[in-house]
């Protein structure tokens, strides 16, 4: 399962708030862990793990195979239809992804 988030700012507080809101309706049995790559917005990973009740794992640098869902979603699905330069401030990518699933 892939859930997309719009982050108006790339910082830990914004990510924490967006993740709590986006994952609120997800049953606990489906939220078993979160895997991230390296990024400054992940600075509050301990707080996020505690809030969501799921451990957070970090991928090794230059190891895209450790982020399979991320790589497949970006490369195979989203980037085919939405180039990286698209302005997603209105959430059009998330709306399109929801209509496909």
pLDDT in tens, 33-50: 888 877 787 888 899 899
pLDDT value of residue 40: 80
Instruction: Identify the CA nearest to 49 among candidates 36, 40, 62.
Output: 36
pTM: 0.60
Within 8 A by CB and 6+ apart from 1, the residues are 30
pLDDT value of residue 101: 46
Range 8-33 average pLDDT: 88
Backbone angles phi, psi at 57, to 5 degrees: -115, 145
- 99 by DSSP, 3-state: which? helix
Tens-place pLDDT, residues 48-75: 899 889 998 888 877 777 766 666 666 6
Backbone angles phi, psi at 30, to 5 degrees: -90, -15
């Amino acid at each position: 399962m892939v859930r997309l988030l719009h982050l108006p700012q790339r910082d830990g507080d914004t990510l924490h708030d967006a993740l709590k809101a986006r994952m609120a309706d997800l049953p606990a049995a489906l939220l078993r862990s979160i895997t991230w790559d390296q990024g400054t917005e992940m600075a509050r990973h301990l707080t996020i793990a505690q809030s969501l009740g799921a451990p957070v794992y970090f991928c090794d640098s230059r190891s895209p195979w450790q982020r399979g869902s991320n790589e497949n979603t970006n490369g195979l699905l989203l980037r085919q239809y939405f180039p990286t330069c698209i302005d997603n401030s209105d959430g059009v990518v998330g709306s399109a992804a929801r209509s496909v699933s």
